[in-house]
Structure 1
Amino acid sequence: MLLPSRPAPVLALALLLPPLAAAAQTPMTATEFEAYATGKTLTYAQGGTIFGTEQYLPNRRVRWAFTAQECQEGHWYEADSQICFVYESESDPQCWAFWQEGGRLKARFAGDPDGTELTEVEQSKTPLACAGPDVGV
């Protein structure tokens, strides 16, 4: 998952979470994450607002899009108990801790001191519909 260059503040969300709730979560391994996500298209929300959607393809490839934006192709790998994503438009990896809660994925961004946290709100087997600059040409 790719974060926007200026992530939205999540202080209000952080204040609503019990202080130790995040610490109690056991991050998924790469094997667990791959088994859960591959072949699915998952939509994530942050604080109740849709954040973006990612399609998990075979061989740890992904296709990500913020809501109503062009898709980014990339891949993921495991590093230090986190799932890290690298996209064609970003050279720096975006690393997340994933865990399951209530039958859905939750993710916390590793590089954000405010603790950006996303929740899976929808899943399907349908490929991600990608907007693009050449659509309709």
Structure 2
Amino acid sequence: MMRIMGRLTAAASAMALVSLLPGASAAQDAPMTPEEFEAHVTGRTLAYAEGGEVYGVEQYLPGRRVIWAFVGEQCQRGWWYSQGELICFVYDEEPNPQCWRFFRAPAGGLIAEFADGEPGLSLYEAQNTEGPLICPGPDVGV
């Protein structure tokens, strides 16, 4: 999940923050299946946030391919696959899989919980668009 992003709208920010309210815990629900996740994201570009700040943006292409960018960094191309209840991402610049559990947020959108590494890292879908991810630098025009 990677680079550049426009400003969040107030409505998108409010919706995303509602998903973090007490009682909106994703851990109470079963993780999304790979099929549910794929149906939600394919053909879309999602911005993920943590604590009210955009963390990164990912464009989900057909065939489980992705383009990810942390805010302010270059885009990375990659792909995703399922491993049990986990959705794992592999990028050209980061070949080690990064696995997440995805849940439907009560107010709509997704909540992503990192499965390994940083304990407690939880991101929420702050914006969901049909537009492409805008990549600066060598990937201009992607």
**Do both proteins adopt the same fold according to a TM-score greater than 0.5, normalized to the shorter chain?**
yes
Residue aligning to 2:93:
89
Structure 1 runs (4+) deviating above 6 angstroms are none
Of the structure 1 ranges 52-61 and 125-134, higher mean CA displacement relative to structure 2 is found in 125-134
User: Any conservation in 1 of the 2:26–2:111 contact (CA below 8 Å)?
Assistant: no
Residues 91-134 of structure 1: per-residue CA shift (max 9 Å, x gap): 11000000111111000000135310000011110000001247
Q: Which has the higher helix share?
A: 2
- What is the RMSD of the two structures over their aligned residues, measured on CA atoms? 2.2
Task: Answer yes or no: is 1:116 the counterpart of 2:134.
Answer: no
Per-residue deviation, 1:21: 3.1
On the 8 A contact 2:46/2:128 being kept in 1, the answer is: yes
Counterpart position of 1:103:
108
Q: Secondary structure at the match of 1:68?
A: coil
Q: Residues 68 and 131 of structure 1 are in contact (CA less than 8 Å); yes or no, is this contact kept in structure 2?
A: no
Q: TM-score, normalised by structure 2?
A: 0.78
Which residue of structure 2 aligns with residue 129 of structure 1? 134
Bigger relative CO (Cα 8 Å, ≥ 6 apart):
2
Change beyond 3 A, Cα 1:91–1:24: same
The answer as to 2:87 corresponding to 1:77 is no
Match of 2:37 among 33, 36, 43: 33
Q: Which residue of 2 aligns with 1:46?
A: 50
TM-score by length of 1: 0.81
Instruction: Quote the residue 1:10 is aligned against.
Output: none
Question: Structure 2 counterpart of 1:50, which letter?
Answer: V
Is 2:43 the counterpart of 1:57? no
The whole-number CA distance in structure 1 between the counterparts of 2:134 and 2:80 is 20
Counterpart-to-counterpart distance in 2, 1:57 and 1:121: 19
Unaligned runs of 5+ in 2: 3-19
Q: 1:133 to 1:58 in 2, by over 3 A?
A: closer
CA spacing shift, 1:116–1:56, aligned 2, 3 Å: same
Structure 1 vs Structure 2: percent identity of aligned residues? Answer: 52
Unaligned runs of 5+ in 1: 3-15
How many residue pairs get matched? Answer: 122
